[in-house]
Amino acid sequence: MSRVGRNITVSIDRLRHLGHRQDRPGRIASDASTCPKCDSHYSGDEMRRNLRVCPACGHHFPVTARERLEQLGEPGGYVELWSDLRAADPLQFTDLKPYVDRIREAETKTGMNEAIVCAEIEVRRVPCVAAIMDFTFMGGSMGAVVGEKLARACEHAAQKGIPLIILSSSGGARMQEGTLALMQMAKTVIALDALAEAQVPVIMILAHPTTGGVWASFASLGDVTYAEPGALIAFSGPRVIEETTREVLPADFGRAERQLANGQVDAVVDRRELAARIGRVLHILAPPDGEALLATPPGWAQGGVERVGRVAQSLPSIPGKIMGRIRPGTDDDEGSAA
């Protein structure tokens, strides 16, 4: 069998030259409109029309808090609450840079004052109070202002007798505020407990990621809990757990679909269907004949503190000095007797 033609010689130098040709078509640069899952590219208008969800593979892009409000209600159809609250620096915390500088940078980058936006809004013609977290502001971390605004949102919803919608997207408690940030876990839980006593429904939406002290406190206490597809919902991420335990975790560990199978969420809902789904639930939970929901008494917060005091008093290991801080008027003898 004779060989026809000539041998093909491949030069590495020639391949390198071809790879650096100026007229060689280049790959489209990745940006905020490039899907990290399937590499599809979309214009800004296409992303907004599709609520920042990839039409090809269903990947959910991050969304800012104010854009979330417009997706749930009508564009511009909300009234923001307590927008003047800003984080302080009581610990004068400094890591690689001062905490006040980090706050200033986050405010400039996002145009927000904090990692949560609270507002009055109508979802499918049902008046609600919404508390929407924004991961772009210092990773959505919960500090004293986030806890305060969330507690005020609970009180506002209870006083008006209208449902509360909470969307969480957070890395957990804010380390720069130390114990003050951890205290917000108890504060938000007590606020939601008072809302439950007022028989006011709470719709919880878990977006990517919902982790740390946020998931360990209020984010797990909704009456109806939805999650976006693929959202990480766990106290710690899989990488941290694997490095600690030296064990390989399942690929879907902590993801919304796994949490649905574990019973931690009620449904995994595509963002494009979320407003309609919430609207149906709100109409089901709405009181008949336009009756107002039961409102909480004005002193709900004090009632929560008293409940904590009663529980603490029943524990024999609580010193009297600590009891005095939890429940004013309790002396050392009473605390010791408890």
Strands (E), 150-247: 164-170, 202-211, 224-227, 233-234
Residue range(s) occupied by CATH 3.90.226.10 in the chain: 59-287
Q: What is the pLDDT along the chain (338 residues), one digit of tens a residue?
A: 555 555 555 555 655 565 555 555 444 444 567 888 888 888 888 888 899 999 889 999 999 999 999 999 877 689 999 999 999 998 999 999 999 999 999 999 999 999 999 999 999 989 999 999 999 999 999 999 999 999 999 999 999 999 999 999 999 999 999 999 999 999 999 999 999 999 999 999 999 999 999 999 999 999 999 999 999 999 999 999 999 999 999 999 999 999 999 999 999 999 999 999 999 999 988 765 545 444 444 444 445 445 545 544 444 444 454 445 444 554 444 444 44
Which class is 59-287 in CATH?
alpha beta
Please, what sign has the CA dihedral across residues 86, 275, 264, 156?
positive
Cα 53 to chain centroid, rounded: 18
Alpha-carbon distances, residue 294 vs 3, 129, 182 (angstroms): 92, 16, 31
